[in-house]
Amino acid sequence: MGPVALTASVLNVVIGAGIFALPAALALVLGSSAPVAFILGGIIMAMIVVCMARAGSRVARSGGLSAYADVAFGPFAGFLTGSLLWFSNMLASAGIASAVAESLATVAPTFAQGLPRDILIVGLYGALTAVNLQGVALAARVTSAAAVIKFLALVAFVVLGASLVNPQNLIWDHAPSATQVGRGVYLAVFAFSGAEIALGASGEVRDPRRTVPIALAAAMVLVALIYLGVQLIAQGALGASLAESSAPLADALTRRGMPGGSLILAAGIISMGGWLAGDLLGTPRILFGFARVGLLPRALARVSPVHHVPNLAIAIHAAVACCFALTGSFVTLAIFSVMATIPVYISCCAAAWVLERREAVAAGRNAPWLSGRSLIPLLAIGSLLWMLSCATFQEVIAVTALLVVTAGIYGGARRFRSEPTP
């Protein structure tokens, strides 16, 4: 892949289906000051992306952030990073599935809760799992079609909604607290995350030292502009009622008498389904990859003799995500997803710092512990630690327990490790 192809890939995975639900979630946390979360989240993600670019330009192999941690700190760090990435993606999947139910409930209230909601979510995962079990080609076509619909819907929303903005709705009604800002940044980072998925194929990138930084910079600037535009239009159109909406983009058009609300709602639901299909296409391969090298049960490395896909890995990923979707809301699951991602990003920033220093030492150059080039990784790590400080006690305990369990799995796998799958 060259810069254009990698930029398109990053755009596709970063501009996720969550943007169709996120404006309301941010308004609920921050009110009219919600755009500040995108600004701060964008700055933090920009620093993280710089670290991804620096690390990615020095690790010319597939695996993305897991590979960076492996090269910088060893296989345990690589396994821990990959495991947390899987868990984060699984929670994101569950959150998007929950958002599908919440969106449908705006036109069919029976899906708001109870058995109808559960049947909808189980049926959604069942259908998308069946698609992915038919092979990569069909799943890729579904994901690509949904991506096109997603981009067209966002462009249509910006074009149609720009004339609906009431400047009074953009005036801050109160100054948010630091904790409120932190919680809002969690949701913004959820929206900005995903570049690490595209970098999983960094071993197939042409001239990574040039291509990775250019593609990441171009993609993140475009993403920030699109997200800010969507948030400002939704808020400017709906005002305080934005926080109460389950389908904010559609409601912004419908409640102001603009045609196209139903189409935006349908496009949002299709986009969410396509994102879920894409997640089922890519994320289970993390389990598959670890099983192939003997760090997870060998059964997860088996592929279908007909369609050549890791059936069990896909089924387990879908089943676990479905269980979480049945018990959580979009906002809760999105925040927990970011909680699991924060250690992954800290690992990436630290890896960028270590790899740059290691390269300088190998070249015989002076490599001080603290320099101008080390400032961005250190600032990024500091920002991520600040985000952790805004987490609740229960969230910190949950992530700590996940780290302990993952370390235990790695220790057990190393002790009873089987030969890697050829």
- Specify the pLDDT at position 316: 94
pTM for the model stands at 0.81
Where does residue 159 rank: exposed (0-12), middle (13-18), buried (19+ CB within 10 A)?
exposed
Closest CA to 169 of 248, 75, 114, 96: 248
- Specify the pLDDT at position 272: 83
How far is residue 85's CA from residue 65's CA, in Å, rounded to a whole number? Answer: 9
Q: Domain 3-407's class?
A: mainly alpha
56-113 confidence digits (pLDDT tens): 777 766 567 888 888 889 989 989 998 998 999 899 999 999 988 988 888 888 888 8
- Domain extents for the chain? 3-407
10-residue mean pLDDT series, the chain (422 residues)? 64 70 87 87 86 78 78 90 90 91 87 90 92 73 74 82 86 83 89 66 59 74 84 88 84 76 81 81 83 85 81 92 92 89 92 84 66 81 92 87 88 66 49
Whole-number Cα distances in Å, 270 to 17, 275, 368: 9, 9, 51
Whole-number Cα distances in Å, 264 to 153, 220, 227, 411: 6, 24, 16, 48
- Specify the pLDDT at position 123: 94
- Specify the pLDDT at position 369: 62
Q: Which residues contact 141 (CB under 8 A, 6 or more apart)?
A: none
- Specify the pLDDT at position 121: 94
Say if residues 94 and 321 touch (Cβ distance below 8 Å): yes
Tokens of 124: 């959604």
Say if residues 344 and 68 touch (Cβ distance below 8 Å): no
Look up residue 276 and give its amino acid: L
